[in-house]
């Protein structure tokens, strides 16, 4: 049966106990008047059926999803239940109708998700093809980008239908899936990033799916990260991306917060100060000093603001010497804090 729209409103027909409604095939535009008995309008079932049918038919046509023969059964059950009087037979018909409706809605959502997955994967492949054409990456980075893209292509398109208020209504769910663009952050920013940073940039902005996390950490932050990298240059940019990945692997939420906490400090520091900032960050991470790393966006930036670069470097070296000699992490943080408050 072709996808068919049915009129929700109706008017009296020129025959007893009868109303006119109009059926319209979506693909051909063929219009068919149809008589329905007055019993079809004794309650709101027909209106609900017409609205649910039209929503299914319009979206199946819009997204080119084949609902199969189940659609004809659904349509027939809806028409039949609309004209049956209350009782055992109508109860059984409506029960079957709702089963078919729910199955078709699920089939449409699945079909739309498949379409979006195919579209996304084609866009991801354009990244690989573009890099192969440009030949701007090192062999190692080119292989890494290819592997990341290959991993991202394996995932089904995300359906964030389970929000804190419960399952989204069917129509809202379709709109949400249709409008969602999983590659927007990549398309808008990836090619602006310096070639030597692209592999790490991609691994950072797609950290959540690459590490099996439901929460979309860094989703929506692609442009901000790209802007920061543009100002950092390639050396510090590489250190920063690696530091972000290091922190997110330790704790994804804290790593994401670390990114936001460090933004203002990084943008405020001068070039030489940034060099020391990222040196401290990297040394602390490699030494496994988690509490010191957490404090870096505060301590290091304030340290560099308060002292000139030579004095700051001496203080930092003393701090790491304390770590190396077995001092507790908290004692070193106190040491740095004392220098921060000294005039």
pLDDT band for 284, please (50, 70, 90 cuts): confident
pLDDT for 87 equals: 82
User: Highest-confidence range of 1-15, 115-129, 205-219, 328-342, by mean pLDDT?
Assistant: 115-129
Choice among 58-62, 168-172, 335-339 with the minimum mean pLDDT = 335-339
Is residue 287 located within the same domain as residue 244? no
pLDDT for 207 equals: 93
Q: How far apart are CA 170 and CA 43, in angstroms?
A: 23
**Domain membership flag for residue 226:** yes
**Domain membership flag for residue 311:** yes
Choice among 22-31, 263-272, 324-333 with the minimum mean pLDDT = 324-333
pLDDT for 225 equals: 95
**Domain membership flag for residue 27:** no
Is residue 245 located within the same domain as residue 274? no
Nearest to 182 by CA among 163, 209, 203, 142: 209
pLDDT tens, position by position, 140-151: 999 999 999 999
Is residue 239 located within the same domain as residue 284? no
**Domain membership flag for residue 329:** yes
Q: 310 or 54, which is more confident?
A: 54
pLDDT for 343 equals: 43
Is residue 223 located within the same domain as residue 288? no
The three state secondary structure string of 33-82 is EEEEEHHHHCCCHHHHHHHHHHHHHHHHHHCCCCCCCHHHHHHHHHHHHH
**Domain membership flag for residue 110:** no
Neighbours of 72 (CB within 10 A): 14
Helix, strand, or coil (residue 152): helix
* pLDDT score of 16 more than 70: no
Is residue 235 located within the same domain as residue 302? no
Q: Strand pairing partners for 12?
A: 19
* CB 30 within 8 Å of CB 3: no
The three state secondary structure string of 262-314 is HHHHHHHCCHHHHHHHHHHHHHHHHCCCHHHHHHHHHHHHHHHHHCCHHHHHH
Rounded average pLDDT over 255-268: 83
Q: 40 or 338, which is more confident?
A: 338
Is residue 277 located within the same domain as residue 331? yes
User: Highest-confidence range of 53-57, 307-311, 327-331, by mean pLDDT?
Assistant: 53-57
* pLDDT score of 265 more than 50: yes
Domain total of the chain: 2
Q: 91 or 272, which is more confident?
A: 91
pLDDT for 71 equals: 96
Choice among 11-25, 41-55, 152-166 with the minimum mean pLDDT = 11-25
Is residue 298 located within the same domain as residue 235? no
Rounded average pLDDT over 313-340: 71
* Residue ending a domain, choose from 218, 249, 280: 249
Helix, strand, or coil (residue 136): coil
**Domain membership flag for residue 9:** no
pLDDT tens, position by position, 207-238: 999 998 878 889 899 999 999 999 888 999 99
pLDDT tens, position by position, 172-192: 889 989 999 999 999 999 999
Residue ranges making up the domain that contains 203: 183-249
Q: 57 or 338, which is more confident?
A: 57
**Domain membership flag for residue 54:** no
pLDDT for 296 equals: 64
**Domain membership flag for residue 259:** no
User: Highest-confidence range of 25-34, 105-114, 239-248, 312-321, by mean pLDDT?
Assistant: 105-114
pLDDT band for 57, please (50, 70, 90 cuts): very high
pLDDT for 58 equals: 95
């Amino acid at each position: 049966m072709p996808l068919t729209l049915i009129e929700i409103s109706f008017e009296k027909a020129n025959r007893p106990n009868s109303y006119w409604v109009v059926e319209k095939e979506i693909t051909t535009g063929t219009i068919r008047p149809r008589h329905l008995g007055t019993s079809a309008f004794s309650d709101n079932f027909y209106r609900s059926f017409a609205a649910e049918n039209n929503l299914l038919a319009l979206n199946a046509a819009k997204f080119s999803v084949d609902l199969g023969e189940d659609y004809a059964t659904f349509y027939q059950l809806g028409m039949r239940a609309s004209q049956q009087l209350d009782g055992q037979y109508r109860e059984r018909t409506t029960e079957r109708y709702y089963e078919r409706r729910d199955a078709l809605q699920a089939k449409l959502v699945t079909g739309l998700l498949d379409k979006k997955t195919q579209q996304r994967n084609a866009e991801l492949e354009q990244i690989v093809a573009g890099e192969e054409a440009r030949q701007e990456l090192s062999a190692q980075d080119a292989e890494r980008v290819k592997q990341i893209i290959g991993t991202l292509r394996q995932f089904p398109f995300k359906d964030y239908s389970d929000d804190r208020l419960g399952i989204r209504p069917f129509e809202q769910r379709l709109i949400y899936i249709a409008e969602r663009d999983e590659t927007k952050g990549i398309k808008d920013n990836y090619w602006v990033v310096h070639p030597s940073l692209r592999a790490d940039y991609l691994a950072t902005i797609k950290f959540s799916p690459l590490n099996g996390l439901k929460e979309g950490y860094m989703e929506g932050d692609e442009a901000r990260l790209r802007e920061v990298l543009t100002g950092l240059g390639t050396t510090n940019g590489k250190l920063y991306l690696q530091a972000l990945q290091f922190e997110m692997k330790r704790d994804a939420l804290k790593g994401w917060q670390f990114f936001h906490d460090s933004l203002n400090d990084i943008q405020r520091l001068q070039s030489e100060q940034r060099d020391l900032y990222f040196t401290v960050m990297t040394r602390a991470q490699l030494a496994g000093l988690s509490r010191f790393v957490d404090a870096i966006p505060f301590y290091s930036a304030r340290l560099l603001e308060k002292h000139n670069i030579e004095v700051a470097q001496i203080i930092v070296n003393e701090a790491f010497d304390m770590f190396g000699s077995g001092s507790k992490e908290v004692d070193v943080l106190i040491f740095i804090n004392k220098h921060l408050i000294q005039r």
